[in-house]
Structure 1
Amino acid sequence: MDSLSLLWQQTGKLTLQSDVYAFGVVLLELLTGRRAVDLNQGPNDQNLVLQVRHVLNDQKKLRKLIDPEMNRTTGKIMTTMESIIMFANLASRCVHPNSGEGLPMAECLKELQLILYTNSKGLSMASHKFGYQWLRRSSGGSLV
Structure 2
Amino acid sequence: MFTATGKVTTKVDVYAYGVILMEMITARKVLDDSLPDDETHLVTIFRRNMLDKEKFRKFVDPTLELSAEAWKSLLEVADLARHCTAREQNQRPDMCHCVNRLSSLLDQWKPTEVDDNDEFETSDIGLNQQLEKWRCDDFTISDSDTFSTFNMSKK
Give the shorter-chain TM-score range.
0.5 to 0.7
Letter in 1 for 2:16: A
**Are the counterparts in 1 of residues 14 and 92 from structure 2 also a CA contact under 8 Å?**
no
1:91 to partner: Cα distance: 0.8
**Are the counterparts in 2 of residues 16 and 100 from structure 1 also a CA contact under 8 Å?**
no
**Are the counterparts in 1 of residues 47 and 82 from structure 2 also a CA contact under 8 Å?**
yes
**Matched ranges for 1:105-120 at <5 A:** 105-119=95-109
Number of corresponding residues: 110
1:104 corresponding residue in structure 2:
94
Letter in 2 for 1:17: K
**Matched ranges for 1:1-144 at <5 A:** 7-71=1-65, 80-98=70-88, 100-101=90-91, 103-119=93-109
Give the direction of change, closer, same or farther, for the CA distance of 1:12–1:98 in structure 2 (3 Å limit): closer
2:113 corresponding residue in structure 1:
none
Letter in 2 for 1:116: L
1:18 to partner: Cα distance: 1.2
Pairwise CA RMSD: 2.4
Whole-Å Cα distance in 2 between the matches of residues 94 and 117 of structure 1? 23
How many percent identity over aligned positions?
30
1:79 to partner: Cα distance: 7.0
Deviation track 1:87-137 (CA, whole Å, cap 9, x = no partner) reads 1111111112135445110110121222233456xxxxxxxxxxxxxxxxx
Whole-Å Cα distance in 1 between the matches of residues 69 and 62 of structure 2? 11
Whole-Å Cα distance in 2 between the matches of residues 48 and 115 of structure 1? 25
Letter in 2 for 1:26: I
**Are the counterparts in 1 of residues 83 and 92 from structure 2 also a CA contact under 8 Å?**
no
1:38 to partner: Cα distance: 1.0
What stretches of structure 1 move > 4 A for 4+ residues in a row?
none
The structure with the largest alpha-carbon Rg is 2
Give the direction of change, closer, same or farther, for the CA distance of 1:25–1:100 in structure 2 (3 Å limit): farther
Give the direction of change, closer, same or farther, for the CA distance of 1:80–1:10 in structure 2 (3 Å limit): closer
Residue aligned with 2:38, SS: coil
Structure 2: gaps (5+ residues): 111-155
- TM-score when scaled to structure 2? 0.61
**Are the counterparts in 1 of residues 25 and 78 from structure 2 also a CA contact under 8 Å?**
yes
- TM-score when scaled to structure 1? 0.65
Residue aligned with 2:32, SS: coil
